Amino acid sequence: MATGTADFVVIANRLPVDRVTAPNGDTLWRTSPGGLVTALEPVMKSNGGAWIGWHGAADEKVKPFDHNGMHLVPVPLSNDEVEEYYEGFSNATLWPLYHDVVAPPEFHREWWDAYVRVNRRFAEKAATVANEGAVVWVQDYQLQLVPTMLRELRPDLRIGFFLHIPFPPTELFQQLPWRREILEGLLGADLVGFQMPGAAQNFVRLVRQRVGHKTHRDMIYLPDGRTVLAKAYPISIDAAGFEELARTPEVIARAAEIRESLGNPRTILLGIDRLDYTKGLRQRLRAFGELISEGSVHVDDAVFVQVATPSRERVQQYKLLRDDINRLVGRINGDVGRIGQQPVTYLHASYPRQEMAALYRAADVMVVTPLRDGMNLVAKEYVACRYDDQGALVLSEFAGAASELKSAYQVNPHDINGMKSMMLAAINASPRENGRRMKAMRKQVMENDIELWANNFLEELTSDRELHEKNPRPV
């Protein structure tokens, strides 16, 4: 059997680096700010690890290269594949379908064909990179067919899969014309990880109903004798890293500067999201606008800063959302603003981690109101930065984080009145009340960081499955 050199392989749609151009014109790669790479970097370094992913540009072949002790293996995508596999099937079919169809998913056969083709390319690449018996960890909804494709090529590998987004209720998943193929694709893994226990249960139920395999609790029994474990591993952040950053004099000074430039209002509310229709931006801005127009909050007293990071800009639903939010912000500021007093400061841009930490430090109320979200790491980042035990978190009950951050001001983002009263409660809470809530949330976030998450997953993946003995095969 032809094998490669890496004992640990991560496969994700994107490589963990961004390409930047230095002042002298040289092209450099910079590690992307995400938590996943922070957690996996040490494992990669100590295992001669490799990361397989798309480097972000269409119609371009980039040779494998080493970066920060990691071996990076770019997978090329043609322009058509970016449209059909990435923007199409991944982000206009699966993304809305898996997020409670908050936007209508589109089903196109040619998008599916591209998804199959590109998944095969990732699997073939992994088959050449992985050493005999290596551990391979496949990430997220863009690559759900890779586990089985890879197992067919390399049965010697230990394969894990983690879904970073929600797995939908069975009734919604059934809409997918290729539902069986997706389930069978995932079953190539030894361990399939989800954010929430309910998602793992949905998956197991679907496998039983649609594929007909026997299951017992979180275990799936395949006819060839193999077993697949489906379990929840709620993801987290580099909590200590965020706290450390928030404590730096630069961030503290920048937070003060932000407050100053907003006119030192009594309350700063903050939203930071990718500009995505799952995030509930419209609902939260409407709620805030109404609080001001009804006089529950005075325009001199509060500012809402909304950072919306540009995302998937060529996908139709994202274009519509962008126009929609532009109009809504314009309307609120036009209706209730005064000269020098814009109630909403809207920034359609992405910022480095340091600026985010300063914004978190400056914000009295963090507003995180997705209509559906696998976890939501912004909520956890805010908590990690509030080492002063102050600040309030308004959090949608439809974010995975809600089951961990129980002391947040939890809201149903579809209920505008309910959201208004919770935002008002957060704005008017005493420091004592906020301190009590924040302390409880900080205990959760600081004790359950991304390193623990990665270790838990990898330990289960590489264990000898004594679990099999505990859960014997049903007859």
Q: Between 166 and 391, name the residue whose CB sits nearer to ligand G6P.
A: 166
Which of these is catalytic: 140, 164, 276, 364?
A: 164
Measured between alpha carbons, how far is 63 from 29 in angstroms, rounded to an integer? 13
- Considering the complex, what minimum distance in angstroms separates the CB of residue 173 from ligand G6P? 17
Show the beta-strand stretches assigned E in 282-391: 302-309, 344-347, 365-368
Q: How far is the CB of 337 from ligand G6P (least distance, A)?
A: 32
Please give the residue ranges that form the binding site for ligand G6P (CB under 6 A): 13-14, 140, 164-165, 311-312
Closest to ligand G6P by CB, 4 vs 374, is 374
Q: Which residues pair with 366 in a beta bridge?
A: 270, 393
Which of 20/253 has CB closer to ligand G6P?
A: 20
Shortest distance, CB of residue 292 to ligand G6P, whole angstroms?
32
Question: Of the two residues 137 and 409, which places its CB atom closer to ligand G6P in the complex?
Answer: 137
How many whole angstroms separate alpha carbon 459 and alpha carbon 233? 12
- DSSP letters, 153-197, are H-TTSEEEEE--SPPPPHHHHTT-TTHHHHHHHHTTSSEEEESSH
Residue 199: closest CA among 174, 173, 226 = 173
Q: Please name the helix (run of DSSP H) or strand (run of DSSP E) that holds residue 39, with its range, or none.
A: helix 35-46
Contacts of 88 (CB under 8 A, 6+ apart): 106, 108, 111, 114, 115
Q: Of the two residues 140 and 218, which places its CB atom closer to ligand G6P in the complex?
A: 140
| Residue 164 is a catalytic residue | yes
Q: Would strands 27-31 and 17-21 be described as parallel, antiparallel, or unpaired?
A: antiparallel
Closest separation in Å from C-beta 236 to ligand G6P: 14
3-state secondary structure of 300: coil
Least distance (Å) between residue 14 CB and ligand G6P: 5
Catalytic residue among 140, 190, 238, 373: 373
Q: 373 an active-site residue?
A: yes
Determine the residue type at 189: A
Give me the active site residues, please: 164, 373
